[in-house]
Amino acid sequence: MRNRFTFSLLNTDYVQLNESWNYLNVISPFYRLYLIDDGIGHLSTPEQSITLEKGQLYLIPSFTMFNQTCPSNLSQFYVHFIEESSDGGSLFARSRKLLQTTATAADIELFQRLVTINPGRDLRKSDNPKVYEKTNILKGFQEANAKLSLATLLETQGLIQILLSRFLDSKDFASENIKIIPSRIMEAINHIQTNLSGSLSVEELATRANLSTDHFSRSFYQHTGQRPLQFIQQKRIERAQFLILTSNYSFAEIAEQTGFESLSYFARVFKGTTGQTPGTYRDSNAYI
């Protein structure tokens, strides 16, 4: 299977936490990967409850809402990273679950290497999600990636991929469901991804694909599992979530940048999709 997914580093470090590491209903547009070195912590979702233990690796996919707590002390390596793909999909689209696997000595060396070649990519100012949002930290680390040498950039991406691969044999990861998408549908997806702020219609997408509207809609659904308008709305809301958590744009500006005709319509669709208003989402989930 051709790898169409790439991952870009946001943060990585080794930290020692205590009972102040206690945050509820956390959700954000990036992945978290933990390797526990000592102590005990807890991750939970409405469907899962996991104890963080020494010698274990844990993965939290993007857009997964969870709680994190530490009763006393917890030492861990961590890496936060953004996922990008050529078709706007996600490697873990069908497995937005907390994942766990046993770490190896090699995994520890990989984390140590990530920290060594990416100095200053920590979150030492605070472990409080509210502070992260105010520092506009994501923009700074995107700029840091742009300054990396080609050798360091490629090694960093490779280290992340190796660590991520440790979870791909999990029963919760349905790799067999990842399919090759025809070029016409891929082009339509790429057009959607790069034109979310503009006007997008099924008729326009079908014309670009040189297909009838009905044929295009059926083919799009067959290869993505969604109707074109559903896909467009999902990507607009995902982009809105990203902007809410990583920028200081007003909701009106975000609505405009994500192609919604009015702030009221944006707020209605956002709440219908996420279960929260944009304001509640920013206040309660500002964790980057």
Q: Say which CATH number the domain at 9 has.
A: 2.60.120.280
Over its C-alpha atoms, the chain yields an Rg (Å, rounded) of: 20
Same domain, 197 and 142: no
Domain boundary among 123, 148, 176: 176
Same domain, 28 and 147: yes
Same domain, 30 and 169: yes
Same domain, 165 and 184: no
d(CA 6, CA 158): 10
pLDDT at 238: 85
Same domain, 46 and 71: yes
Same domain, 115 and 225: no
Same domain, 165 and 260: no
Same domain, 281 and 160: no
Domain boundary among 153, 176, 199: 176
Query: Which helix (H) or strand (E) segment is 137 a member of?
Result: helix 137-147
How many other CB atoms are there within 10 angstroms of residue 24's CB atom? 12
pLDDT at 95: 66
One digit per residue, the tens of pLDDT, for the chain of length 288 reads 455 678 889 889 999 999 989 887 777 778 999 999 999 999 998 889 999 999 999 999 887 878 899 999 999 999 999 887 655 667 776 667 899 999 999 999 999 999 999 998 887 555 555 444 444 455 566 678 888 899 999 999 999 999 999 998 766 665 444 556 788 888 898 788 888 999 999 999 999 999 999 999 999 998 888 899 999 998 899 889 888 877 788 999 999 999 999 999 999 999 988 888 999 888 766 544
Same domain, 137 and 33: yes
**Amino acid letter for position 42:** H
For residue 226, give the CATH number of its domain: 1.10.10.60
Same domain, 123 and 199: no
Domain boundary among 128, 158, 176: 176
Q: Dig out the tokens for 159 from the structure.
A: 């280290």
The whole-model pTM stands at 0.71
Secondary structure class of 22 (helix, strand, coil): strand
Full domain range(s) for residue 211:
180-285
Same domain, 160 and 185: no
Q: Give how many domains the chain has, as a whole number.
A: 2
Give the residues across from 51 on adjacent strands: 42
Secondary structure class of 45 (helix, strand, coil): coil
Burial degree of 186 (CB within 10 A; 0-12, 13-18, 19+): middle
Same domain, 189 and 102: no
pLDDT at 87: 57
